[in-house]
Structure 1
Amino acid sequence: MADFKLVVSDAKTGKAYNIDITGPKTTKFVGHAIGSEISGDAAGLAGYTLVITGGSDKDGVPMRNDLPGQVRRKVLVSGGIGYHPKEDGMRKRKTLRGNEIATELVQVNATIKEYGPKPIEEIVPKSEGAGKKKKAEKKTAAAAKKK
């Protein structure tokens, strides 16, 4: 059974929310392609509609919307997702994943298309990010040095 993190981006607030998808809920995502709409009920977001925008597997290989299928492929690319050339005309062979969600994915990205009755902040449990923890540790260390 595939377990992955669903990263839901909210365009109104500019925030992203991490939701763990485990067990039978994952079957509602597997096989859908980038750009397809999924009911938020599969992720515990009742009334929401999500649009899949991408994802990556355990090795960090990104999904690319112009590659059909679920498997990895070595593709000669000149730009776009997975490769940003330093000069015009540069091309490189990169390993990229197809546009369908597979069981090997670790992260799936989505955006909110339609909002539900409750705000997403109330539904998704708030977790303190790594950046906030580091800032708090720096502040306590700086306060200890002053004393």
Structure 2
Amino acid sequence: MPAKLVFGLKNGTSVQKELPDAEFKFFLGKKVNDHVKGDAFGYPGYEFEISGGSDYCGFPMRWDVPGFQRKQILAVKGVGLKMTAKGIKHRKTVCGNTIHPKIAQLNLKVVKEGSTPLAPPKAEGEAKPEAKEEKK
């Protein structure tokens, strides 16, 4: 199962690419907040920071949970939580901070840009999708 990489660019947009299993092996054992060079998986000149991800069931990775297994944590705020009221604690299932083969998506933040752009430039004449008319 190929993993998806989501690159967060400096201008606030993101680009999603699929990574084959052979190239994903480079990430195994790395942790959230680690810096990686893009040369190892096809992006020469780039440097990325692993900012998170999710496993095959959709549980988010959390930087402060060690290991690769899922844990049910009691938390007030942070990754995987919506604050409903101030100070209320929630029991949530999250994934550990170590990358393992069952990770389906990795979020990477661009720290240093390379010579080639990650996203292809948009064509000048590309039309925006038209807004649908409201029925009354």
Length-normalised TM-score, structure 2: 0.84
Q: Which residue in the other structure is 1:9 paired with? A: 8
**Paired residue type of 2:53:** G
Match of 1:111 among 109, 112, 122: 109
Select the structure that is richer in helix: 1
Partners of 1:63 and 1:99 within 8 A in 2: yes
Checking the alignment, whether the CA contact within 8 Å between 1:71 and 1:98 is kept in structure 2 is yes
Three-state SS of the structure 2 residue aligned to 1:121 is: coil
Counterpart position of 1:145:
none
In 2, the alpha carbon distance for the partners of 1:116 and 1:45 equals 8
The residue aligned with 1:102 is 100
Residue correspondences, number: 128
Equivalent of residue 41 in structure 1, options 33, 39, 42: 39
1:24 corresponds to = 22
- Cα offset for 1:15? 1.6
The letter of the residue matching 1:60 is: G
Deviation at 1:18, TM superposition (A): 0.8
Percent of matched pairs sharing the same residue: 34
Q: Which runs of 4+ in 1 moved over 4 A?
A: none
Corresponding letter in the other structure for 1:31 = G
Structure 2: tracts of 5 or more residues without a match: 123-127
Separation of aligned partners in 2, 1:24 and 1:110: 18
Matched, 1:81 2:79: yes
Which amino acid in 1 is paired with 2:75?
V
| Cα root mean square deviation, aligned | 2.0
Q: What's the counterpart of residue 93 of structure 1?
A: 91
